[in-house]
Amino acid sequence: MSTSSQCRVCGGTVTEFFDFGRQPLSDAFLKPSADFSQEFFFRLAVGLCGTCTMVQLMEEVPRDRMFNEDYPYFSSGSTFMRSHFESLAKYLLANELTADDPFVVEMGCNDGVMLKTIADAGVRHLGVEPSASVADVAASKGVRVRKSFFEESTAREILAADGPADVIYAANTLCHIPYMDSILDGVAALLKPTGAFIFEDPYLGEIVARTSFDQIYDEHFYFFTLRSVQEMASRHGLELVDAERLTVHGGEVRYTLAPKGQRKPTEAMRKLLAEEEAQNLTDIATLRGFGAKVERNRDDLLAVLRKAKDEGKRVVAYGATAKSATVTNLAGIGPDLVEFVCDTTPAKQGRVTPGTHIPVREPSAFTSDYPDYALLFAWNHAEEIMAKETAFADAGGKWILYVPDVRLV
Ligand code: SAH
Ligand code: TMP
Ligand code: ZN
């Protein structure tokens, strides 16, 4: 078991700071009849590059195992996220897509949650999405989609066919892609000199501040900071010119990169950079401290679940999130502690959770027979979910949360 590896951004040495142990593919929901002995596992561990400061996974899962025709995450499943991406699309239309016949490319457009607004506005666009399950849904909404992985060769083909892009956009996708050199060379080639590469991903500063350790799973390869994004951008003729904090998915940052020297870095970016420096995220001791908190949350959660079981209470989980694979597999939470997980995604219902094999059922299984406790795996959608499930609390039910610490509400 190695405790160092080579940085996928700069080739420097990555030093491990936390090991989550043996973990399955977070989105591989199995049929109950599957041969569980064939389930794929890897070692999920995170480290810090001593050279460019990028936090990243120690081991990479081959991309085709994760992103394929069975990919079950449909971005439009959350009302709140639909409006988040609609606002972003409107912002792009008003501020970045104002040239003559503008062109926007999105990596990881998923089911078209963002590009639908762009398509409806009649603006030239292309979604690049390798997972056929979601790409087909985007196409059915009138979004132009290319079913492939974005990488340098893809970018060059798009450039030859469609010309340069005013905006390249990626939400919760860039952090999924280990081969960063290829991506950023592709972006630099495809972008107009006046263009912008805008992406938003979970923010390491927030993960550490809130101990949201379940943001760490197979698909999330990188955990960005402004500092590490600056380092990786500068290796490809790009520059970080803006950064904005977002509350979605438990705390993200939206970064804007532009070709070097083309745009003036904003005051907001400088301010956030200064705040980040104060958090010492480039210090391995800070990250080891995070690891100690993860172990405490794991132990506290297990204690709550075991107590509920001893008292004969019913515990059901809410939201069969990819994130929850990290929690359940780290803590060893299986069907003995959690009866089932309810989820609105048809592709997940009737399956069992990766690694821990908890049945996934439709939301009516929850609402028709409220349990004593609901373990909120989709804690990043807490506001939306608690607002629609007030009857559960009215019936005396309690939510179990484990980020930033374990508590009942
Ligand atoms: N943008 C959406 C989807 C995020 S899920 C949202 O924010 O909700 C990540 C998506 O990235 C998946 O749909 C996956 O298939 C896609 N993806 C993974 N690697 C990719 C690559 N190299 N190029 C383009 N898309 C990729
Ligand atoms: P995410 O945290 O990665 O966005 O995944 C959210 C999961 O939770 C996804 O499988 C859909 C599910 N979900 C529900 O079951 N009910 C809801 O109200 C919401 C918002 C999500
Ligand atoms: Zn590095």
> 3-class SS at 10?
coil
Residue identifier of the C-alpha nearest atom 19 of ligand 2: 78
The 10s digit of each residue's pLDDT in 20-57 is: 999 999 999 999 999 999 999 999 999 999 999 999 99
Q: If you average pLDDT over residues 317-328, what whole number do you get?
A: 98
321 within ligand 2 shell (Cβ under 6 A)? yes
320 within ligand 2 shell (Cβ under 6 A)? yes
77 within ligand 2 shell (Cβ under 6 A)? yes
Question: What residue type is 393 in one-letter code?
Answer: A
The 10s digit of each residue's pLDDT in 276-315 is: 999 999 999 999 999 999 999 999 999 999 999 999 999 9
CB 196 within 8 A of CB 260: no
CB 314 within 8 A of CB 339: yes
CB 54 within 8 A of CB 228: yes
Give the pLDDT band of residue 350 (cuts 50, 70, 90).
Answer: very high
The 10s digit of each residue's pLDDT in 82-131 is: 999 999 999 999 999 999 999 999 999 999 999 999 999 999 999 999 99
CA of 320 to the centre of ligand 2 (A): 7
What span, in angstroms and rounded, lies between the C-alpha atoms of 351 and 28?
A: 9
> 3-class SS at 342?
strand
392 within ligand 1 shell (Cβ under 6 A)? no
Half-sphere exposure of 381 (CA within 13 A, CB side): 24
Give the pLDDT band of residue 3 (cuts 50, 70, 90).
Answer: confident
Q: If you average pLDDT over residues 57-79, what whole number do you get?
A: 97
Contacts of 369 (CB under 8 A, 6+ apart): none
CA of 379 to the centre of ligand 2 (A): 9
Distances (CA, A) of 182 to 150, 153, 187: 9, 8, 9
300 within ligand 2 shell (Cβ under 6 A)? no
The 10s digit of each residue's pLDDT in 236-246 is: 999 999 999 99
219 within ligand 2 shell (Cβ under 6 A)? no
CA of 81 to the centre of ligand 2 (A): 10
378 within ligand 2 shell (Cβ under 6 A)? yes
Residue identifier of the C-alpha nearest atom 3 of ligand 1: 110
User: Which of 105, 253, 280 is CA-nearest to residue 175?
Assistant: 253
The 10s digit of each residue's pLDDT in 9-23 is: 999 999 999 999 999
Distances (CA, A) of 279 to 102, 212, 231, 292: 39, 16, 18, 17
**CA of 154, closest atom in ligand 1:** 23
Dihedrals phi, psi of 115, to nearest 5 degrees: -70, -20
CA of 12 to the centre of ligand 2 (A): 37
Between CA 347 and CA 271, with CA 212 as vertex, the angle to 5 degrees is 120
> pLDDT above 90 covers what percent of the chain?
99
| Residue of 73, 113, 176 with the most ligand 1 atoms within 8 Å of its CB, for mutation | 176
What span, in angstroms and rounded, lies between the C-alpha atoms of 197 and 186?
A: 11
Single pTM value for the model = 0.97
Domains and their CATH numbers in the chain: 4-58 (no CATH), 75-285 (3.40.50.150), 297-408 (3.40.50.720)
CB 171 within 8 A of CB 149: no
Give the pLDDT band of residue 1 (cuts 50, 70, 90).
Answer: low
Q: Find the distance separating the first CA and the last CA of the chain, reported in whole Å.
A: 40
